[in-house]
Structure 1
């Protein structure tokens, strides 16, 4: 090519040299030497590709560590004991290492007991369902709970790399089940709030493993008409609001002080997107106070000397878990909480198909229980019952309305929630 353009051939001394090839035939060796310039260029290009690939792999965001790694090592035993959510709050704790980071799992109860998997809501980790779990264990059940990614003592897969959607949460459930030393091939699944949405979504994919589905104040069929304009703007991925500002404002929404704890949804429309100032934050807290029952119920077991509420735990996560707010935001954006009729219809069809089989072959789910708070302002009981019956089939929906309680029903009335699970298992009381 150099001769075609009238340019002198590069001096031999500047050409890269190839090692001697005594084992090659003379003709092949001559050809390689003749094209050594192109071979060297190809090798350099290949090296560049490999180098850039390694940079891309190294640039993938790492999971955000939980307080187990960032906080606990610097605390004294007494300080650990006094945490709003101490690491030994529930029995049978284990930390499961996964490609997405570490997952905190709790499993206890009789090894031969009926299996019950419990999934907590969007903001308060496993301890929110401690009351329900302890009552089930006392009745002979084997329970499993786990902190959703970005909550409690579970790591946070970077929201830059993963959406907190059906795929991520389904994967997390499967990882938790597989981490058990005991078989979990057939079990009841109970989900609260966001956990209810996740439980229903999971059941639609794995119907043969679920023998009971209890949805406590669940997301999944929330009507989008209830989402305020300000919340749509705040949680939008359009880029209109910088991500750092979204995180700051959501932290203000979630921070409650001693009064209340947020559970699943943003505030109602206040007319405009709040501004980032102290007055707006105070206004947001006021909205939260009007939406959520202020509960003084302690989430820790009676043996604990501490009285820790859901609000205490949420505020502790905001201050100590760097992945909590990003995980919350991604869950609001991508979790299966709204208009999931298509997935719920699959659950209904699977139950319908079950009844078409001979009675001896009717294994699996036969009904779905909705446990709802009478005064819940987030999950409107009448709306959910109507929508659930439409997609699941009226014959397959069982409803329990708990009077005088709102969205925190699972924390405030754990006995009544546990009683529904025990009824599925055939307990008379």
Structure 2
């Protein structure tokens, strides 16, 4: 229950500024003020900075997450025959796991109402990938969302104005006050949306490496532990995998290109061992959380079978139709996904073996082509991007480029070619190069 005393945002800010702990009612009052407008932008920025400087303990973070969860509508899936499960990634390059895992979970008996995000900075966003599909509604009304989840078993959508509105305003303040990296605020932002979606189990994919927001492994581990502790404290069973983002997950970057790649993998027309390995690992953990499998390992085999058999592709196709997209997208994806008019190969300086990748630089190259955004309101070009990205340990040379740039015009394409070339490190031919494991750590 909120405090009966007069609400003074500056006093809450003062306590946190001075290193004190906030009570649940104080946090609830503050978040209610964020939604109502009683808390000004200046006060919200000051609170974010105080939290960044002095931190929030576990109890404070749980209370903040709960308050943000209940700052708007929450979804109720009672009546469905299976568990409500989801996966969330902290973001990376070539990460199309969501497009595979949601329909694969549905094919295994789960329901997945996935509230996904847009790209910002150097990372791509799942919502942007889906908006490359003509007609696909990423902000359906409640009736369409419920029908899609009921009929397809999954629906990947963006955050509506009704879900966790306090999160949108707090994130906007963090974005312009250099407080994005606060672990408690990241934790509350992610989990408030997941809790509002009515989940019964969540698996987190926390990235580390050159293409991740948490580049250092210790930082990624700390975030994973924070997410697990707070999620469990708020009543949401959660497991986290710390995974490698020292190179792109899939050999593509760019919205239509990544969507096409995911569809081709689902349809069995293209192989991608790394993408499937991570999808299977995360999906197995989710099925175990939902008690659809006795162990994560057995769950992983069920997810793999759903992909190999085409059952996941069928669920994906059904989801697309339910949310307004073309009925033949899986059969004829190139007929619906836009293509950039200019393609330019990125030739290496000589023959050799890829020994390292500045993955963040690849993401920024896509942004420079118009395929990403630096501000939330920026328009993006779905068709541009990179494909045929060479992985660590792969031989490159005159007959195997580092990548292929897809551009709207030649000048932008040539700039991207140079950026991609600089992002790659190539060792001498025959040199042994070690590739990091994809799944680095499991935390529960």
Q: Aligning the two structures, in what range does the TM-score lie when normalised by the shorter sequence? A: under 0.3
Query: TM-score if structure 2 supplies the norm length?
Result: 0.25
Q: Which protein shows a greater Rg?
A: 1
